[in-house]
Amino acid sequence: ERVLNWTGVRAPEILDEFESWVEDRPISLFNGRDLSGWRVQDPSRRGSWSAANGVLRNDPAASDIATEQKFWNFKLHAEYRLTPHTNAGFGLRGRYEVQILEDYGRPPSNKGHGALYSRIQPTQNASKAAGEWQAIDITLIGRRVDVVLNGVKIIDGQEIEGFTAIATDANEADPGPLTIQGDHGSVEYRNLTITPLKKQGRSSD
């Protein structure tokens, strides 16, 4: 008989939303030429990522990728173009997925475009049609998230109540990478910029 031993820990208390945070220096996550600063999470997958002329793209069956650098509180700006029937996602700290989905014209849902996947439903569907460039701006402070999709705020400071399926690290009180889902269809990305947030009055390290 096989015995499995488990150890449980309480979710950490994170009170960052009650502090004042200001923007630090923006960091470009993609140099437009190659995957410098990123690592492939599952090299055994048959699909791959490529970069050229300022655009990052994945094969439909590629592995997720993650930044080598880890982040705590931040603002993320990203632009991307979806093919029909495609979805992907951004993993915030490698734990909470904001869904990317080609769902133009459909009702909003907690698995729709801009949702905190399976947990927070957008207030409206602000998607553009397949083939158009779209822009998303995500702010993460503690466990609270804002999402602005194509200039429309669709999630406003709501609390994230737990991990989503993209999670690869259970240490919720630690910084984590930005991850991009790669195995659900081909997506083109450009202008990936993250702006770390620091506490008001604290100098940058």
CB atoms within 10 A of CB 4: 4
- DSSP E strand boundaries for the chain: 21-23, 27-28, 38-40, 49-52, 55-58, 65-67, 74-82, 87-92, 96-101, 133-141, 144-149, 152-159, 179-180, 187-199
Please state the pTM of the whole predicted model.
0.93
- Residue bearing tokens 């999670």: 167
pLDDT at 84: 94
Asked whether the predicted pLDDT for residue 19 surpasses 90, the reply is no
- Residues 7-13, mean pLDDT to the nearest whole number: 82
Asked whether the predicted pLDDT for residue 205 surpasses 80, the reply is no
pLDDT at 10: 83
CA–CA separation, 180 and 170 (whole Å): 18
Distances (CA, A) of 43 to 1, 14, 87: 34, 34, 21
Share of the chain above pLDDT 90, in %: 81
Lowest-confidence region among 42-46, 84-88, 102-106: 42-46
Mean pLDDT of the chain: 93
Sign for the CA dihedral angle at 107, 117, 165, 186 comes to positive
pLDDT-derived band at 202, boundaries 50, 70, 90: low
Asked whether the predicted pLDDT for residue 204 surpasses 80, the reply is no
How do residues 138-148 score in pLDDT, each as one tens digit?
A: 999 999 999 99
- Residues 2-14, mean pLDDT to the nearest whole number: 83
pLDDT at 72: 97
Distance of CA 50 to the CA centre of its chain: 19
- Residue bearing tokens 């923007």: 23
